[in-house]
Amino acid sequence: MAAKPRAGPINLREACISEALQIIEDAGIEGLSLREVARRLGVSHQAPYKHFPSRDHILAEILARCFDEFAAFLDQRPPSTEPFDDLRGMGEQYMAYARLHPVKYRLMFNTPMPDPDAHPNMMRNAQRAFALLRDRLTDMALRPVDETHRSSANLDAMFVWSTLHGLASILQSDTFRTLKMSDVELQQAISRCFARLSLALTPLP
Amino acid sequence: MAAKPRAGPINLREACISEALQIIEDAGIEGLSLREVARRLGVSHQAPYKHFPSRDHILAEILARCFDEFAAFLDQRPPSTEPFDDLRGMGEQYMAYARLHPVKYRLMFNTPMPDPDAHPNMMRNAQRAFALLRDRLTDMALRPVDETHRSSANLDAMFVWSTLHGLASILQSDTFRTLKMSDVELQQAISRCFARLSLALTPLP
DNA sequence: CATGCATGTTGACATTGTCTACTTCACTGG
DNA sequence: CCAGTGAAGTAGACAATGTCAACATGCATG
């Protein structure tokens, strides 16, 4: 009754996704075409259309998985007892993902996305990743003070999130590459950001 | 000897650029095609090629102008004598640009760019915009002047830029809108970011 | 005046997304 | 057991795009 792999139905679907991602890694997002996917897999140019209604749909599926992977990656960070260490750990985890998976990170944050309303699953996963991050940061900001300031902690979480996202995003952007910053400066910049973040999070009057 | 406008040589070039930008505003970056530009201007599909060697070249030109406009916008912020007010003024100006010109902002920072080395003019303008941000920070004299002054300002500029860009980017993203934050909370979040930024920029030991 | 170069037009080609119409073939209800 | 049904895959067609080549035109300068 349900779909039973006939030696290659779901296989091709999965193969399309991983091959598409490979193409993006090789040639960038603009190099992705369903026909190239089909060609690499040795199937007809229409075969992928049996599994994805359009190019945007395969992109949305890839993005959905990226957001999932991203959220899981952030979640696996080992917790620490010291709030600032914890915060820094989270920040480093965030930056680590961007460093380890630059293409995927760019795909998620530095690339035009398919219309979110048309791809609810992708959007849900994205939202989940963002919510996770913000909630974690909120908890951390909350710990040093008392529980009555949850909304205030939420604002601080937005601040930290902004800085992390902005930094990772900038480092991955084409625009940043035009600045021709050296690797040393880059490492210094990241360290400086963490230092400034710590400084920023002293209690407000 | 030099090019003399023959009733429409430079005109067409300018017209292409503004029409291309209009197309991007209308239909997004993926809707931009040189043929559509030509069509809208009522010229043959090859006419634009007399002024731009390729699609990337017209995009690079548009980006170069966006960076110029962006830099000018940041610069027109009313100067203040109080350093922190000054920082906040520029930050608000930054956020204002992102709010008033979301398409251009995304074009500059959230979109794959043509190879910078192939488009030095675009690259120069992008660098100039960043340098402006950095120099403002330098001028604020928020830290003791020493030999590392300039490079230190560079790092802090990266930090401020990260926070501003991250915030602007998050507020614009489709996924963020699903978090359903109220306008009040949103304004609070922005204010909090500025407050934290000020706090962050006290002199380092 | 002839020539050349900038500007513009027309036509052609390969590539892409996507539609429609065919083929195959494993499974299923009678 | 067997016709048939529907999913997976193939083949061909179409319009749109970027870009190349060949041609037209007209102003400027030798």
Q: Is residue A71 part of a domain?
A: yes
- Same domain as B88, residue B27: no
Could you tell me if A33 and A130 lie in one domain? no
> In terms of residue numbers, what domain contains B14?
1-52
Whether residue B40 is found in the same domain as residue B88 = no
Say which residue the tokens 């880059």 belong to.
Answer: A186
Supply the pLDDT for residue B3.
Answer: 36
* pLDDT for the residue numbered B45: 98
Residues B23 and B103 in one domain: no
CA atoms within 13 A on the CB side of A169: 27
Q: How many CA atoms lie within 13 A of B41 on its CB side?
A: 25
With 90 as the cut, is the pLDDT of residue A151 above it?
Answer: no
In a domain, A131, yes or no: yes
For D20, nearest residue by CA–C1' is B46
- pLDDT at res. A142: 74
Q: Which nucleotides of D are covered by protein (CB under 7 A)?
A: 7-13, 16-22, 27-29
Distance, CA of B1 to C1' of D28, in Å = 8
- The CATH number given to whatever domain includes residue B22 is 1.10.10
In terms of domains, do B2 and B46 share one?
yes
Do A112 and A143 lie in a common domain? Answer: yes
pLDDT value at residue B118: 94
Q: Is residue A63 domain-shared with residue A43, that is, in the same domain?
A: no
Give how far B97 is from chain A: nearest CA, Å.
Answer: 16
Least confident range of B7-16, B40-49, B152-161, B166-175: B7-16
> Residue A17: is its pLDDT beyond 60?
yes
Residue B41 pLDDT exceeds 50: yes
Angle of the B55-75 helix axis to the B120-139 helix axis, nearest 10 = 20
Closest nucleotide relative to residue B12's CA, C1' based: C7
Residues 92-151, chain B: which have Cβ under 7 A from strand D?
A: none
Identify the closest residue of chain A to B175 by CA–CA distance: A127
What's the CA gap between B157 and A51, in Å, rounded? 47
Structure tokens at A57: 């749909």
Say whether both B8 and B100 belong to one domain: no
Q: Within 7 Å: CB of A144 and strand D? A: no
Residue B36 lies in a domain: yes
Residue nearest to nucleotide C25 (CA to C1'): A6
* Residue A157 confidence (pLDDT) above 60: yes
Classify residue A125: in a domain, yes or no. Answer: yes
Residue A10 domain flag: yes
* Residue bearing tokens 């970011």: B193
Percent of chain A with pLDDT over 70: 91
Q: What's the structural domain count of chain B?
A: 2
Residue A205 resides in a domain: no
Select from B106, B154, B156 the Cβ nearest to the Cβ of A185. Answer: B154
A15 C-beta less than 7 Å away from strand D: no
CB B47 within 8 A of CB B26: no
* Position A147 confidence tier, pLDDT thresholds 50, 70, 90: low
A113 and A177 in one domain? Answer: yes
Which of B30-34, B130-134, B147-151, B157-161 shows the lowest mean pLDDT across its residues? B147-151
DSSP state of B45: T
The rounded distance, in Å, linking the Cα atoms of A87 and A83 is: 6
Q: Nearest Cα to B193, choosing from A163, A73, A110?
A: A163
Are B37 and B20 a contacting pair, CB within 8 Å? Answer: yes
CB pairs under 8 A between A and B: 145
Q: Which residue of A has its CA nearest to B179?
A: A127
Is there a single domain that holds both residue B38 and residue B81?
A: no
- Rounded Cα distance between B11 and B8, Å, is 5
- Which of A155, A174, A179 is opposite residue B130, by nearest beta carbon? A179
pLDDT for A119 beyond 60: yes
Do A42 and A88 lie in one domain? The reply is no
**B119 and B193 both lie in a single domain:** yes
Domain with residue A173: its CATH number is 1.10.357.10
* pLDDT for the residue numbered A4: 38
Reported as a pLDDT band with limits 50, 70 and 90, residue B149 is low
Residue B181 included in any domain: yes
Give the model's confidence band at A161: pLDDT under 50 very low, under 70 low, under 90 confident, else very high: very high
Q: What integer is the mean pLDDT of A89-106?
A: 94
How buried is residue A47: exposed, middle or buried, by Cβ count under 10 Å (0-12/13-18/19+)? middle
> Which pLDDT belongs to residue B201?
86
Would A11 be classed as within a structural domain? yes
